[in-house]
Amino acid sequence: MVTGAGIRRRLGALPIIGRLRRRAERQRLIARGLRSRTALRAISDRTRRIERGDILCFVTLRDERARLPWFLSYYRAMGVRHFLIVDNASQDGSGDYLCAQPDVSLWWTDHGYKAARFGMDWINWLLLRHGRGHWCLTVDPDEFLVYPHHDQRPLAALTSWLDAIGRRSFPAMLLDMYPKGAIEDAVCAEGQDPFDVARWFDPANYSIQKNEYFGNLWIQGGPRTRAFFTHDPLAGPALNKIPLVKWSARYAYVSSTHMLLPRGLNLVYDEDGGELISGCLLHAKFLSSFSAKSAEELDRRQHYGGSQEYRAYHAGLHRGVQLWCSESRE
Amino acid sequence: MKAAVRLGVVLLCHGDLDLVARLARIWTSGGARVALHVDAKVSAAKVAGLRRSLQDCDQIIFSRRHRCSWGRFSLVRATQDAAAELLQRFPDTTHVYLASGACLPLRPISDLTAYLAADPDRDHIESVSTHDVGWTVGGLNHERFTLFFPFDWKRHRWLFDRFVAWQRRRGIRRRMPAGLSPHLGSQWWCLTARTLRAILEDPRRAEFDRFFRLVWIPDESYFQTLVRLHSTTVESWSLTMAKFDHAGRPYCLYDDHVAMLAESRCFVARKVWPGAAHLLSHFPLPDEGRPQVDPPQPARISRIINQTVRRRVLGRPGLYMQSRFPRKDAENGKTSAPYAVIQGLTDIFPGFEDWLRGHLSCHVHGHLFSPEGAEFAGRPRVGPGAISSDPLIRDRDPQGFLTSLIRIADPMQVFQFSPRDNQALNWFMATDPHAHMLVVSGAWKLPLLHSGMPFDDVRRIFAQLQRIELEQLDVLNSLWVRARLHHHDLGEFLLNPRTILQDFLLQIDPHSLPITTLPAMRDLTGLDGMLRRLRNSGLRPRLTGEDLPPVELLTTEREAAE
C-alpha cells in the first residue's frame, strides 16, 4: 500500500524538486541584485573602457586605503583589465584614491553591508550589468589569487585555457596567511607585499564536507579554527571559494563567493579520483591592522553570524594569541 | 649532392589572425611557400586585414575558404583544396607540410629542409593500422570507419550519441572502398609532392571522398589511409610535436616551456598560446648558416606531459581538496602512504606506546581517535601539519584528519585504537591497502577488571564496548577487506604475545629492533570471576571469554620466556 508519507518521500527524491527550488532561489537572488542597484551611486563610471574579452575584478571594501596600492598593482600585473569596486562608506580616503585610478570604476553606498547579504547583492548587480561574457574575479581587498604557473603565465592564459576545455568556473581555497609572532607586531607598510610579513600557513588541518544541495564542498579549518574557534569549531569560517567565473546573466553568487547558482558552477572537483585545476586565495588578514579592524567590525556587527568571527578573534587577540606554531609552513 | 627541397606549407587557420600572419612570415622567410586556408567563419574584414598585412609577400596564396568544423570532412576538403592550389601555383614544390595557425616552428626552416633532403622520397606521416592500436579516447576506433557519422559531435552531441547507439544496435557496418586498409594518425604531416599529387589526382578520389565524408574525424584518417596506397616509404612519425590531454584536446604551450621545447629539438610544436610572447619571440631558433639534421628528441617533454595527464586522470593518492574529492571507493588510493593501527595492546600493556616508540623508527601516536582528543606523540595540542588535537574538530571530518596526517608527516604513522575510540573510519581503514592492522579483540576488558567501578557500570560499559567491537569485527571479516590485517582474540594473543608482536613489527618496519622484553602486563587476576559474574547477570561475554586460558598458565609461560 502506498501511504501519503511514502509518496512525499518519493517526490522528495526526485531531482526535479531540488532543481525547481534552486531555480527559484537563483531568480530571487538575481532579483535582489536588481533591486539593490538603487543603493549604489556611481562615483566614477569608466565601464565604457571595458573591451571585449577583458578580465574584470569585482570588490566590495570599506576603509582599506593602506592595502589598495599593492592590491591594484598585484592584479594589474596578473592581467586584470578593469576593477569594479563598491565603496561601503569608507572614511579613510579610499574613495578619492580609487577615483584617481584610470582602470577603476567606483560606486558608493552607505547601505548596510549585512542587509545587502554581506555585499553580495551589490556584486551580483554589477556582475549582471557589466560582467556578462567576461571572466570575472570577485575578491576581497585582502585576498590574492595564485594559480598553477602564476609566476610565468598571465591570468589570460588560464582563462583562455579554461575556455578551451569548457570550464566556466575556477575554484581557489582561501588560505589564511599569518606572521610569526604577535599579529599586532606584524606591520605591513603601504605598497608592501603583505606576504613578506605574513608568510606562514597551516599545511594539513582542513576538513571537507560535501553539500549535496548546492553541490559545493564545504572546507573549514586552518589557523582560525585552530586558534579562535576551539570552543565551537563547527562555526569556523568556510574556506572554499569560487572567485573566477565566466559570467552569464543567469548566474548568481549565493553566499559570499563560496557557492553559486546554477549548481553546475560549484562542481569544480573530480569525483572519479582525478584532479581538476584549482588555485588558492592567499588571505592577508592577519596583520597589525587586523586588531583595530576587528574592534570596529565588532561595533558595527555587520558580518556573518552576528559577527561571531570577529568576536572570537577579538577575545583571542586580547589574550595575545599567536597563530604561529611549530608546524606552520612558509 | 642531395636533391634540393622546395617546401610548401598548408596553414589551416581559424583563430588569431595576427599570429597567423606572423607564422606565415616565419615560414616564407625560411624559403617555404605558404597556402593559407582561413576558415569561412572568420569575418571578411578580418581576412582583408590579413591579406593587406601579407600583400608584400608573393610566396603566400590564399586558398578557397570552407566552413570547417571539428571532426568533419570539411577540414579534409580545405586541406585538399589548399594543397592543390599550392601545387598548381608552385609546381616545383617537392614537399608539402600541413600545419595549423597555432603550430610554431621551433628550429630554423633550413634545418627542416635539410632534414627532408637527407631522404627526399620519404613521406613523414603518422599512420597506424586501426587493427593493432587503440588510438584515441572515446572508444571509437575501428567504428569510425564502420558507422555513419552525419551529425556534428560538438553541436549535436545528443543526436550523435543516439545515432551511434542505434547503428550499433542494428549492427550496421559500412564497407570500406576496395583496396583500402584503415589507418589513423596525427593530422599534421609532411608528404612529398609526388605522393600528395597521387592522392589528389587519384581516379578513384571521388569514391574515397564519398566514403570519408561520413567517417568520424577524417582529418586523422584520410591522408593516413590513402598514403598507404600511394607511398612505399612511409616514416610513421609526425614531425609536429602535438600532445593531447585525456579528453583529446591539444596541449597548449606557454612561455615557461621554452627550455623544454628547445631541448626537444622538434621541428614544429603545437599548440602555442597566442599570448605567449616570449615563446613566440624565442622560436624559431636563428638560422646559423649550417643546418643541423639531428632528429627530434621529444621523449622528455612527452614524459612530462604524460605525467600531467596521468595526474589529471588519477590524481595524487590520499589528497583531498577543493578540486579533488573522490567519491567513496573511487579514490585511486585512499591514503598516500602505509600506516599501522594497533588495537588492544595498550589495554594489555599500559606502557605499550612508549615501549613501541623504542622499537620502531616510525611516529608512534597514542589513541588518535580517543574521545578526549587526538593523542599525538608527545601529546602536543597541535600535531603534525598543524592538525588540532581537539576532538570536535577531528570528528568533523575524521577521514580528512587521518589522510592529512598521513600525507603531511614523513615517517610511517602508527597509532593505537580501541572500541572506546571514534569508529567512523572502520570501513575506510579496512578497505585501504595501506593500512597494517593488528587487532587483539577483547583486550578492552582488561582495564575494566581493576577499575573499581560499581558492577552495574562495568556491566553497562562491557555491553557497550562488546557491541562496538562486534560491529567492527563484522567489517573486518567482510569480503572487502584490503588492509593487511592480523586479528587475534585475547586468549590467542596472550599465549604467544612475543611472536605475534615481532611478526607485526617486522612487517611494518623491517629494521625494527628485535623484541627482548615485553612491557609490563596488566594484572589478569580475577578476569575469570568478572566474566562469570557478567554471565550470571544475563550478559553473554563473547570475544575470547570461553577459550581464555587460565591466568596461572599465562603467567608461568611468560616468566619462562623471560
Per-residue pLDDT tens over the stretch B103-124: 999 999 999 999 999 888 999 9
Closest CA to B90 of B200, B193, B223, B227: B193
Task: Return the higher-pLDDT residue of A86 and B153.
Answer: A86
A11 vs A138, which has greater pLDDT? Answer: A138
Residue B545 has pLDDT above 60, yes or no: no
Q: Can you tell me whether residue A208 is helix, strand or coil?
A: strand
Q: What is the pLDDT of residue B238?
A: 87
Q: What ranges do the domains of chain A cover?
A: 13-318
CA distance A18 to B406: 37
Query: What percentage of chain B reaches a pLDDT higher than 70?
Result: 94
B194 in any annotated domain? yes
- Tally of domains within chain B: 2
- Cα nearest neighbour of B253 on chain A: A157
Nearest Cα residue in chain B from A240: B322
Which residues of chain A neighbour B326 with C-beta distances below 8 Å?
A: 270-273
Interface test with A, best of B322, B405, B413, B425 (most A CBs within 10 A): B322
Closest chain A CA to residue B315: A274
Confidence of residue B513 (pLDDT cuts 50, 70, 90): confident
For the cut 60, the answer to whether the pLDDT of residue B2 exceeds it is no
Is 70 exceeded by the pLDDT of residue A327?
A: no
Under an 8 A CB cutoff, do A152 and B400 touch? no
Q: What are phi and psi of A148, to 5 degrees?
A: -55, 130
Residue where one domain finishes, among candidates B224, B242, B260 = B242
Q: How far is A50 from chain B (nearest CA, A)?
A: 19
Q: Which of A161, A205, A269 sits opposite B324 (nearest CB)?
A: A269
Count the neighbouring beta carbons within 10 Å of the beta carbon of residue A230: 16
What is the arithmetic mean of pLDDT over B33-51? 91
For position B92, which CATH number holds?
3.90.550
Choose between A9 and B436: higher pLDDT.
B436
Q: Is the pLDDT of residue A10 over 60?
A: no
Residue B305 has pLDDT above 70, yes or no: yes
Q: What CA–CA distance (Å, rounded) separates B215 from B145?
A: 6
Pick the CATH number of A13-318 from 3.90.1580, 1.10.10, 3.10.450, 3.90.550: 3.90.550
Cβ–Cβ below 8 Å for B312 and A275: yes
Residues of B in contact with A268 (CB under 8 A): 322-323
Question: Residue B254 and residue A157: Cβ atoms within 8 Å?
Answer: yes
Q: Across the interface, do B385 and A226 touch by the CB < 8 Å criterion?
A: no
Percent of chain B with pLDDT strictly greater than 90: 35
Do the Cβ atoms of B321 and A207 come within 8 Å? no
Identify which of A149, A204, A232 has the shortest CB distance to residue B385: A204
Q: Is a pLDDT exceeding 60 seen at residue B237?
A: yes
* Smallest Cα distance from B22 to chain A, Å: 20
Task: Indicate the residue of B254, B312, B316 with minimum beta-carbon distance to A153.
Answer: B254
CA distance B332 to chain A (A): 6
pLDDT band per the 50, 70, 90 thresholds, residue B557? very low
B313 interaction partners in chain A (CB closer than 8 Å): 274
Q: Do B256 and A153 touch (CB under 8 A)?
A: yes
Query: Does the pLDDT value for residue B560 go beyond 50?
Result: no
The pLDDT assigned to B1 comes to 36
Residues of A in contact with B382 (CB under 8 A): 226, 325-327
Mean per-residue pLDDT, B292-320: 86
Contacts of residue A60, Cβ cutoff 8 Å, sequence gap at least 6: A85, A86, A88, A113, A119, A122, A123, A140
Which grid coordinates are listed for B98?
Answer: 600541413
Nearest by CB to B382, which of A232, A276, A325? A325
Residue of B nearest to A224 (CA): B388
Tell me how far apart the alpha carbons of residues B432 and B67 are, in angstroms, rounded to a whole number.
53
B3 or A276, higher pLDDT: A276
User: Do the Cβ atoms of A268 and B388 come within 8 Å?
Assistant: no
CB contact under 8 A, B390 and A217: no
Q: Judge whether residue A3 has pLDDT over 60.
A: no
**Least-confidence region, from A311-320, B230-239, B281-290, B511-520:** A311-320
Long-range contacts of A5-13 (CB under 8 A, 24+ apart): none
Q: What is d(CA A239, CA B178) in angstroms, rounded to the nearest whole number?
A: 63
Looking at B213, B242, B271, the residue that finishes a domain is: B242
Closest to A210 (Cβ–Cβ): which among B252, B325, B396? Answer: B325
Residue B506 belongs to some domain of the structure: yes
Nearest to A176 by CA among A136, A206, A216: A206
Task: Name the more confident of B153 and A141.
Answer: A141
Residue A26: pLDDT band (50, 70, 90) is very high
C-alpha distances in Å from residue B42, one per residue of A114, B35, B65: 48, 17, 10
Is residue B275 assigned to a domain? Answer: no
The model's confidence at residue B315, banded by pLDDT at 50, 70 and 90, is confident
Across the range A294-312, mean pLDDT stands at 66
Residue A29 CA to residue B76 CA, distance in Å, equals 49
B273 closest CB neighbour out of A157, A273, A274: A157
**Distance of residue A206 Cα from the nearest chain B Cα, in angstroms:** 7
Nearest CB to A207; choose among B313, B397, B408: B397
Q: Is residue B372 part of a domain?
A: yes
Substitution target from A207, A268, A280 for chain B, most B beta carbons within 10 A:
A207
Looking at residue A246, its pLDDT comes to 94
Which ranges in B236-314 belong to alpha helices (H)? 258-264, 277-282, 299-314
Task: Report pLDDT for A228.
Answer: 78
The phi, psi pair for A104, rounded to 5°, reads -120, 130
Cα(A265)–Cα(A257) distance, integer angstroms: 11
B296 domain-assigned: no
pLDDT recorded at residue B562: 43
The domain containing residue B415 runs over which residues?
341-561
The residue of chain A with its CA nearest to that of B385 is A204
Contact A269 B408 (CB under 8 A): no
Tell me the percentage of chain A whose pLDDT exceeds 70. 86
More confident residue, A303 or B202: B202
Q: How many CB pairs under 8 A join A and B?
A: 145
Instruction: Give the percent of chain A with pLDDT over 90.
Output: 38
Residue A208 to residue B393, Cβ atoms within 8 A: no
**Is the pLDDT at A65 greater than 80, yes or no?**
yes
C-alpha grid cell, residue B470: 562486534
**C-alpha distance from A208 to closest chain B C-alpha (Å):** 7
Given a cut of 60, whether residue B554 has pLDDT beyond it is no
Q: Which of B211, B226, B242 is the last residue of a domain?
A: B242
Task: Please return the burial class of A291, using the count of CB atoms within 10 Å of its CB with bins 0-12, 13-18 and 19+.
Answer: middle
With beta carbons under 8 A apart, name residues in chain A contacting B254. Answer: 149, 152-153, 157
pLDDT the model gives residue B78:
94
User: Does some domain include residue B176?
Assistant: yes
Q: Bigger pLDDT: B342 or A306? A: B342
Backbone dihedral angles phi then psi of residue B378, each to the nearest 5 degrees: 80, 0
Mean pLDDT along residues B6-17:
89
The segment with the largest mean pLDDT, out of A3-12, A18-27, A318-327, is A18-27
- The answer to which of A269-273, B131-135, B242-246, B251-255 has the lowest mean pLDDT is B131-135
Give the pLDDT mean for B287-310: 85
pLDDT of res. B9? 93
Identify the pLDDT of residue B449: 85
**Rounded distance between C-alpha atoms, residue B83 and residue B97, angstroms:** 9
CB contact under 8 A, A275 and B273: no
Tens digit of pLDDT for each residue in A183-221? Answer: 777 888 888 888 888 888 888 888 888 888 888 899 988
Cβ contact (<8 Å) for A278 and B323?
yes
Strands (E), B427-483: 435-441
Which residue in chain B is spatially nearest to A165 when comparing CA positions? B249
Q: What is chain B's mean pLDDT, rounded?
A: 87
Q: Is the pLDDT of residue B190 over 90?
A: yes
Tell me whether residue B17 is exposed, middle or buried, using C-beta atoms within 10 angstroms of its C-beta: 0 to 12, 13 to 18, 19 or more.
Answer: buried
Q: Within a domain: residue B495?
A: yes
B401-422: per-residue pLDDT in tens?
999 999 888 889 999 999 999 9
pLDDT at A282: 92
| Residue of A317 and B160 predicted with greater confidence | B160
pLDDT at B561: 45
**Distance separating alpha carbons of residues A189 and A176, to the nearest angstrom:** 19
Residue type, B409: A
Residues of B in contact with A273 (CB under 8 A): 314-315, 324, 326, 330-332
Is residue B17 domain-shared with residue B144, that is, in the same domain?
yes
The mean pLDDT value for B524-538 works out to 85
